[in-house]
Amino acid sequence: MDFIFMLTRDDRTVPECLELVDRLAPLKLRHVGFKDVGVDHRTLETLHARIKAMGAVSYMEVVSTTPEAALNSARVAAKIGVDCLLGGTDVDGVQKILAGSAIQYYPFAGFPEGHPTKLRGRPNDVAKHCRDYLAKACAGVDLLAYRATDADPLDLVRAARGALGESWLIVAGSVNSPARVKALADAGADAFTIGTAVFDASFLPGKPSLLDQLAAAQAASAAVNGKSRSIGRR
């Protein structure tokens, strides 16, 4: 299962994101992303260029709270040229913006709301959204499982997995321990994102170093690699 490191805290790209990228080189991270809020667009462009210079797959996750802002964020993603766009729910609108690009799109399943985002919806809602998104040729879904308010997080993961078939299931938000990584792998997730838990040093308690936290997340990912697929085909 792939680990996607998000240069984000509390659903915002961290102001020091550019300074941090150089520190990541020793870990050889293969998947690195950021949110559409927290820094200006020029900084996002520079950040994306540095992520690609590392040889990593790049991700931008939309957390804009209005429909038009979310579409504006998709326009930013298209201009920057990220590899993967995560989030948003206006699939038709986003796909029009991404048309002709190589960007893979993973919309939110369920009903995200607020900022930091919470996720409403039951397993049947998530499964329906997954099927609808596949019918529209999305690459997979972005599921805020541990932000759920109406259902058990792992029930949502299992519902998404059952509906997605061979398409990709990325779980984002509040993945804050190796135990949660293992639970997600067992439930069928293909990848997970971590941001805040690394910056708060809560993924590996007692080890405040950013590199120690990231190494622990990498180890948790490696420990379950036999239980799920890898996005490493890119």
Q: Map out the domains of the chain as residue ranges.
A: 2-233
pLDDT at residue 234 is higher than 50: no
Question: What are the C-alpha distances in Å from 122 to residues 88, 138, 145, 157, 180?
Answer: 18, 21, 11, 11, 20
Distance, in Å, from the CA atom of 157 to the CA atom of 149, rounded to the nearest integer, reads 14
Helices 41-53 and 67-80 sit at what angle, rounded to 10 degrees? 40
Distance, in Å, from the CA atom of 110 to the CA atom of 119, rounded to the nearest integer, reads 6
What's the pLDDT band for 169 if we cut at 50, 70, 90?
A: very high
Mean pLDDT to the nearest integer, 155-181 = 97
What's the pLDDT band for 66 if we cut at 50, 70, 90?
A: confident
What are the backbone angles phi and psi of residue 100, rounded to the nearest 5°? 90, -10
Structure tokens at 198: 């690394």
Fold of 2-233: TIM Barrel (3.20.20)
Question: What are the C-alpha distances in Å from 114 to residues 91, 117, 130, 175?
Answer: 19, 5, 21, 19
pLDDT averaged over every residue in the chain: 93
Over residues 13-23, the pLDDT tens digits come to 999 999 999 88
Place of tokens 């999305």: 138
Q: What is the pTM of this model?
A: 0.94
Distance, in Å, from the CA atom of 180 to the CA atom of 158, rounded to the nearest integer, reads 14
Whether the Cβ atoms of residue 229 and residue 221 lie closer than 8 Å to each other: no
Distance, in Å, from the CA atom of 57 to the CA atom of 55, rounded to the nearest integer, reads 7
**pLDDT-wise least confident of 85-89, 113-117, 167-171, 208-212:** 113-117
What's the pLDDT band for 213 if we cut at 50, 70, 90?
A: very high
Distance, in Å, from the CA atom of 27 to the CA atom of 179, rounded to the nearest integer, reads 22
Structure tokens at 58: 């790049």
Question: What are the C-alpha distances in Å from 123 to residues 23, 134, 196, 215?
Answer: 39, 17, 26, 33
